[in-house]
Amino acid sequence: MDSHGQYEQQVVWAVVDSGIGPLLLAATREGLVNVVFHATDAVRDHALGRLASRLGSEPVEDPDSPLLAEAIAQFEAYFAGERHDFELPLDWSLISGFNRQVLRELAAGVKFGHVVGYGDLARRVGQPGAAQAVGTAMGSNPLPIVVPCHRVVESDGGIGGFGGGLETKRQLLALEGVLPQPLF
């Protein structure tokens, strides 16, 4: 407990290697709370500072934490091509409102190897004119890969944007069989 008799939010993190570069995984007692692409030292430090500010607790590096063990194992299996679905408790506290509604629909309704358009996803949440807002929700996704914003594409066949970079999006879609693997 802190000095006010409140339980402090425990946040643990680790950087793991993946097929798309280092990922920072952070978890609370509620579940996985954040996944950050390209977790170089500078990116990691920025993300940890933001987590501390948002969650009110200094994240602690603990790659052996039971709070992270299953997430790490499932990410390894995903990138090895052995897992298609993540089955993890998620802490949704970094996102709210429309963005949370859209991301929950995405997580539940767009499976491995499939894609959905921004407008289609907007219609699924009862907001048919909100394709741009869906794009904003994708950009604010604190749990990429697990909540698969890489599976959201433009209705005209374009790949769309991606917070982890377009090459990372292409690699994830290729891993899932949606795009051909690059030749080189």
Known active-site residue 149: yes
Q: How far is CA 123 from the centre of its chain?
A: 22
Beta bridge partners of 13: 26, 61
**Structure tokens, 158:** 């374009």
Phi, psi for 79 (deg, rounded to 5): -70, -20
CA angle 148, 150, 109 (to 5 degrees): 40
Q: Which amino acid is it at 66?
A: P
Which residues are CB-neighbours of 181 under 8 A, at least 6 positions away?
Answer: 174
Catalytic residue among 47, 125, 149, 153: 149
- Rounded Cα gap, residues 13 and 48, in angstroms: 9
Q: Which sequence positions are flagged as catalytic?
A: 149
